[in-house]
Structure 1
Amino acid sequence: MTITNSQSGTNVHEISDGIYRINTPVVFENGNGFSFNQYLIADDEPLLFHTGPRRMFPLVREAVASILPVDQLRYIGFSHVEADECGSLNEWLAVAPQSTPLCGTVAGMVSIADMADRAPRTLADGEMLALGRHSVRWHDAPHLPHAWECGFLSEESTKTLLCGDLFTQGGTDLPPLTESDILEPSESFRHAMDYFSHTKYARELLERLAATAPATLACMHGSAWRGDGAGLLRALGDELCS
């Protein structure tokens, strides 16, 4: 793990071949800790997934620059429209002139075509995008955990699922990548916050994600996880549908 900003604790860790977790820990006034993760796929056409909140932009930019020149970014992607997902989207488009917003078709239609300073590259459910030696595939997941436009990217060669708000873990003192249980802490967090939409299609959507057989789950909050991703996604389905 490399610390890129000693004041904020922002750090970078390679969780899969060519895929980097950028993490910034935050402690709120009530003393509770939380973390914000972005994922950079370094390739011929680099992709940043999640921008981080707008006020966090200088920290994330500094971290990206430790891996590759920021102006080389080609795609700025996210799961759904929310501040920590795409709050600094236009700031990224400004510093990376050849970059394009990357999102699902619904997000492009209802929000990003208007909000973003450049038109988005939208992906249909199941559509693949080649970045070079990496390729990503978009998976529509409406209301899982929330937002009509929600979806996720799976990277084919490393079997990494960029799974957004699924398996959110609280706290700041967490390893960048773990093989320990994240279901119990993420379920404790979910029960306390109740941020899921409770869609009746949760099990079906999770089964579709499990079919990608991920070996690494790139969570937006907390540790990334390595192991039997299909089994963990199905276990989450059992919890949500019990």
Structure 2
Amino acid sequence: MITNEQSRTRIDEVQAGIYRISTPLFGVEGGFSFNQYLVVDDEPVLFHTGPRGMFALTADAIGNVLPVEKLRYVGFSHYENDECGALNAFLDKAPHAQPLCGTINAMINGDAFDRAPRVLSDGESLGIGQRTLVWFDAPHLPHAWECGYLFEKESATLFCGDLFTQGGAEHPAVTTDDILESSEAMRKGLDYYAHAPNGGALLDKLLACRPALLACMHGSAYRGDGAALLLALKGRLRPAIVPA
């Protein structure tokens, strides 16, 4: 559903109770997109905030599903403008919301948050009602020491941040088509991976969850054998990393 005709921001349910909010960016060569994900439960979670300048667009889209004030957690993979640029604006709007992040993120960036974060250690679970979220540390995968990901157990959804970043401004909300080749084209063109030596082991940790939905921050979400896709990505990275 389009929620802003001018920006073409839209919100779509990509899994029962999980919504993808997407704003296309046409002003760069080839186009791009910024996605955030809303998880509806007793304690709703927003994963990624989008850039600070997109706060109103994202908040308006959320308002089509639930009042922004009801957000309980605002999570993000690592400290970057498109990940958490609007974090404090959401904290101001939602009086009971907390940042949700890993231990390294809280240690090195916590002073930038207007409210103390709910910190999750590697492998720690958080119940939000009928759903359970699990945090996985993933330093430098693809970049940033504090990087990590959330996995929603009930739907087997992996909120996988910058993994499988796809170029282009407009995409279907969810696809069963291959996203590896388009994401590899982006990776090879921009080389935004840190090439960490433990990248293979980190991908093994994620694929062991056997995700059925990969909720990407740029491009379409992918529905299918997420473990196979993560394994294929590991194979593509092998020349640059030392597999476990």
Contact 2:88 2:113 in 1 (8 A): yes
Q: Which residue of 2 aligns with 1:73?
A: 71
Contact 2:123 2:135 in 1 (8 A): yes
**AA in 1 matched with 2:227:** A
SS across alignment from 2:189: helix
CA distance in 2, matches of 1:215, 1:168: 18
CA distance in 2, matches of 1:153, 1:173: 25
Deviations along 1:51-81, whole A, 9 cap, x unmatched?
0000000000000111101100000000000
- Indicate whether 1:14 and 2:6 are aligned: no
- Indicate whether 1:180 and 2:177 are aligned: yes
- Indicate whether 1:135 and 2:125 are aligned: no
Instruction: Choose from 116, 124, 137 the match for 1:119.
Output: 116
The two structures have a TM-score, normalised by structure 1, of 0.98
Aligned length in residues: 239
Aligned pairs for 1:68-107 within 5 A: 68-107=66-105
CA distance in 2, matches of 1:63, 1:135: 24
The gaps in structure 1 that reach 5 residues or longer are none
- Indicate whether 1:171 and 2:168 are aligned: yes
Instruction: Please report the RMSD computed on the Cα atoms of aligned residues, expressed in angstroms.
Output: 0.7
Q: Which residue of 2 aligns with 1:202?
A: 199
**AA in 2 matched with 1:65:** G
CA distance in 2, matches of 1:201, 1:130: 29
**AA in 2 matched with 1:37:** N
CA distance in 1, matches of 2:108, 2:54: 25
CA distance in 1, matches of 2:216, 2:108: 25
SS across alignment from 2:14: strand
**AA in 1 matched with 2:168:** G
CA distance in 2, matches of 1:173, 1:124: 35
Q: Which residue of 2 aligns with 1:49?
A: 47
Contact 2:166 2:218 in 1 (8 A): yes
The gaps in structure 2 that reach 5 residues or longer are 240-244
CA distance in 2, matches of 1:234, 1:203: 9
CA distance in 2, matches of 1:31, 1:205: 32
Q: Which residue of 2 aligns with 1:27?
A: 26
How many percent of aligned residue pairs carry the same amino acid?
57
CA distance in 1, matches of 2:19, 2:171: 16
CA distance in 2, matches of 1:227, 1:13: 18
CA distance in 2, matches of 1:213, 1:7: 38
Task: List 4+ stretches of structure 1 deviating above 6 A.
Answer: none
The two structures have a TM-score, normalised by structure 2, of 0.97
CA distance in 2, matches of 1:115, 1:211: 33
1:135: how far off? 1.0
Instruction: Choose from 204, 212, 216 the match for 2:213.
Output: 216
SS across alignment from 1:241: helix
Q: Which residue of 1 aligns with 2:144?
A: 147
